[in-house]
Amino acid sequence: MHEISNFESYEQELVDFLHEDALDNQKKQISITYLWFLKSTKELVAYVTVLADAISLQGEMKEYFKQKGIPYKSLPAIKIGRLCVSDSYLGRGIGTLMIEFVVILAQKISKEMGLRFITTDAKRNIDSTRNSIHFYKKFGFEVLKQREKGTIPMYKDLIKE
């Protein structure tokens, strides 16, 4: 049997979500959480939660898509609601594998229904080595809207032009 109770992260909020909300949200069809276990020990090393989303087009972005013949107010997306790697496995490329998994999942879904973007709300951290904004930028995510406080909305366009 796979065990999730021993999962640890410096981000207690992400541990609490996994233990208290992930399964309930899945039952209510709000989000789906994918778990990564170490094969040899069945230890939970990471998870990612995804859900449906949309990007509201405004300003330059709205004009850009209008020029491309896409005159809509919003475009469909899949959102990375939570992404967490166990403290013991940070820096081993697991986060990269999870992003690659979400990109493949999004590409697969886009063959069945409209889906243009992957979105996330990147968390700020006082410790810049734990700042998720830089992590997402490595995978082609761009800042959607700058904010002084709280999370930073980011997106990745699945169609490279």
Express each pLDDT in 117-126 by its tens digit.
Answer: 999 999 876 5
d(CA 11, CA 106): 26
Note whether residue 121 is domain-resident.
yes
Q: Is residue 7 part of a domain?
A: no
Burial of 68 (0-12, 13-18, 19+ CB in 10 A): exposed
User: Is residue 115 scored above 70 in pLDDT?
Assistant: yes
For residue 115, give its domain range.
12-157
C-alpha angle 9-17-148 in degrees, rounded to nearest 5: 80
Q: Is residue 108 part of a domain?
A: yes
**Would you list the DSSP string of 132-151?**
HHHHHHTTT-EESS--SSS-
3-state helix, strand, coil in the chain (%, to 5): 35, 30, 40
Tell whether 124 is covered by a domain.
yes
Give the list of residues 6+ apart from residue 15 with CB closer than 8 angstroms, or none: 7, 8, 9, 84
**Residue 127's pLDDT band (cuts 50, 70, 90):** low
Phi and psi angles of residue 43, each rounded to the nearest 5 degrees, phi first? -80, 135
Q: Per the domain annotation, does 6 fall within a domain?
A: no
**132 or 96, higher pLDDT:** 96
At residue 131, the pLDDT reads: 74
Q: State how far the Cα of 102 lies from the Cα of 158, in Å rounded to an integer.
A: 11
Q: What length is written for the chain?
A: 161
Domain at 27, CATH number: 3.40.630.30
- Type of residue found at 150: G
Residue 2, domain member (yes or no): no
Tokens matching residue 144? 């959607």
Q: Is the residue at 4 inside a domain? A: no
Asked whether residue 33 is assigned to any structural domain, the reply reads yes
Band of residue 79 on the pLDDT scale cut at 50, 70, 90: very high
pLDDT of residue 129: 61
The total number of structural domains in the chain stands at 1
Tokens linked to 56 = 């509201």
Q: How far apart are CA 115 and CA 107, in angstroms?
A: 8
3-state secondary structure of 128: helix
Mean pLDDT value across the chain: 91
pLDDT in tens, 12-29: 999 999 999 999 999 999
Say what the pLDDT of residue 4 is.
84
Q: Does residue 1 surpass a pLDDT of 60?
A: no
